[in-house]
Structure 1
Amino acid sequence: MDEKEVQSFLIIFSVIAFALALTLILLFIFFQKRKNKLLGEQQEAENRFREEIIETQIEIKEDTLRNVSWELHDNIGQLLTLSKIQMQNAKDNPEAIDEAIETLGESLNELRSLSKLINPDTLTNLTLVEALHLEIERFNRLRYLETSLECSASYFAIDSKIEIIIFRMLQEFFTNTIKHSKASKLSVYVNYTGKTLTIKAEDNGVGFDVSKMESFQGIGLSNMKNRAKLIHADIQINSIEGSGTQLLFTYKI
């Protein structure tokens, strides 16, 4: 190999080596940017999740305070008023004293139930099913509508923060049922199968046109969908005007 061939070989080798080095550098920069982007998206998702948890907890507390107000006025207040009337009637009817004592006892039981809602640690220390039981019991006490809750015998643990979000979505559906649906019945079915949680809630109210769902943002339907997306769950709202509304929720661990 003469000198010119050696020089040509060195030039070609240098060009190839430079091209390979440049390619590696570009690949490193590309993957580093992609890694940083993924980390940024992950951090953003975590921040969004934390913000959603805080917002959800605030909404639950606000809803709880409204519930306490309704229950004090619509239930306990009426019981105490009835007890007062019974005591006044006791002057002419001694048997009314026993009725008044019974009414006062019922008022005390209602206050004990209400104290569970007031306790700020209640939802934190309860499972999703236990929190739903409390909510359903409250509806039945207030006689807003006839409510029922059925749960599967099987169960698996879910992150408590995710359970809070699930509970809030259901709470929004319940609130819509009471405020807007004119329903007389509300049924909730909770099923744990394998690693899948399925919840169905349905009322027998007036329903609405699902094709116009975007116009119902004020009643929390868009919030439910956004929250389901945040925890990688699926939620469907099915409704027919005059035939009630149904919520179908699916979450896989």
Structure 2
Amino acid sequence: MSEQESQFLLILFGGIFFAFLMSLFVVAMVVLHRQRQMQNRQKIEHLKSEHEKTLLNVENEIQQETLSQIGRELHDNIGQLLSLIKLSLNSAKPERQQEAKGYVSQVITEVRALSKTLNLDWVASLSLDDFIREQLKRIEATGFCQASLESDQSFLELKKEEKFVLIRVIQECLSNALKHAQPDHITIRIAHNGSIRTIEIKDDGKGFDTTQKYSGSGMHNLANRMKTIGGKFKLTSVVGKGTLVSLELPF
């Protein structure tokens, strides 16, 4: 075999080997790409499942909070009114019986309000600002502390799931402030800066050390809930100087 033929065969076999390697590379890239697609689909399905589970948990918690609120109202408010009606009707004085009629009207009004609360459709019909005002009104009615709202109404347009999550996170933040902070005043401020809307929940209570492990789990849960609607949860607190929670959500 001549030298020229040897070189030709070498080039031929080299080309075949190179083509084989390229084929293997292409096949490997296709397989890898499909694996990544499968992994991405699995991740998306997992995220969707977690998102739906979070929203379901939030809705269940709102229902439980609503039922607890109704129980308190029945015991503390309506129960007291019914007791007054009973005492007034047992009296022989006409003016006391007239008072009973007024109490009956109050009971009817309270029962109607509670019946609306049982239906979670109020979440769709009530604006976030109105919900916060109602919550702060209840806090002030207890005499526990003063409460105020400042709003530019930038959260008026919300999807139902966004409103559900924000309502539950705000409820939890207010509950934490009342249970642990012992504040004289709670302020909620709603504003926007460019494409970001922010809800700030501030109290002038005891504050706490945010580096402590015991303070992290509940905050982590609230942060995860904000993530499900594309938002952010931020918390700053100083011992003796109060706590500030910021909830951010893009338009």
Give the TM bin, normalised by the shorter chain: 0.7 to 0.9
Which residue number corresponds to residue 151 of structure 2?
151
Between the aligned partners of 1:63 and 1:28, the Cα distance in structure 2 is 52
If the length of structure 1 is used for normalisation, what is the TM-score? 0.83
Q: Indicate yes or no: 2:241 matched with 1:248.
A: no
Deviations 1:88-127 (A, max 9, x none): 56x45x5555655444444443333333321132224434
189-198 vs 42-51, which moves further = 189-198
Which residue number corresponds to residue 70 of structure 1?
72
Between the aligned partners of 1:82 and 1:148, the Cα distance in structure 2 is 33
How many angstroms does 1:200 deviate by?
0.7
Asked if the contact 1:74/1:142 (under 8 Å) is kept, the reply is no
Between the aligned partners of 1:105 and 1:96, the Cα distance in structure 2 is 15
How many angstroms does 1:19 deviate by?
1.6
Deviations 1:67-108 (A, max 9, x none): 11112222332344345445556x45x555565544444444
Which residue number corresponds to residue 210 of structure 1?
210
Deviations 1:123-156 (A, max 9, x none): 2443433433443344345555433333214456
How many angstroms does 1:227 deviate by?
1.5
124-133 vs 8-17, which moves further = 124-133
Which residue number corresponds to residue 28 of structure 1?
30
Let me know the Cα RMSD of the aligned residues.
Answer: 2.8
Q: Count matched residues.
A: 249
Between the aligned partners of 1:231 and 1:188, the Cα distance in structure 2 is 20
If the length of structure 2 is used for normalisation, what is the TM-score? 0.83
Between the aligned partners of 1:251 and 1:194, the Cα distance in structure 2 is 11
Between the aligned partners of 2:162 and 2:200, the Cα distance in structure 1 is 17
How many angstroms does 1:49 deviate by?
0.4
Which residue number corresponds to residue 49 of structure 1?
51
Deviations 1:8-33 (A, max 9, x none): 22111111211211111111122221
Unaligned runs of 5+ in 2: none
Relative to structure 1, the CA distance from residue 186 to residue 224 in structure 2 (aligned partners, 3 Å threshold; closer, same or farther) is same
Deviations 1:30-60 (A, max 9, x none): 2221221111111111111011111111111
Please give the residue correspondences for 1:107-122 in structure 2 after superposition, counting only pairs within 5 Å: 107-122=107-122
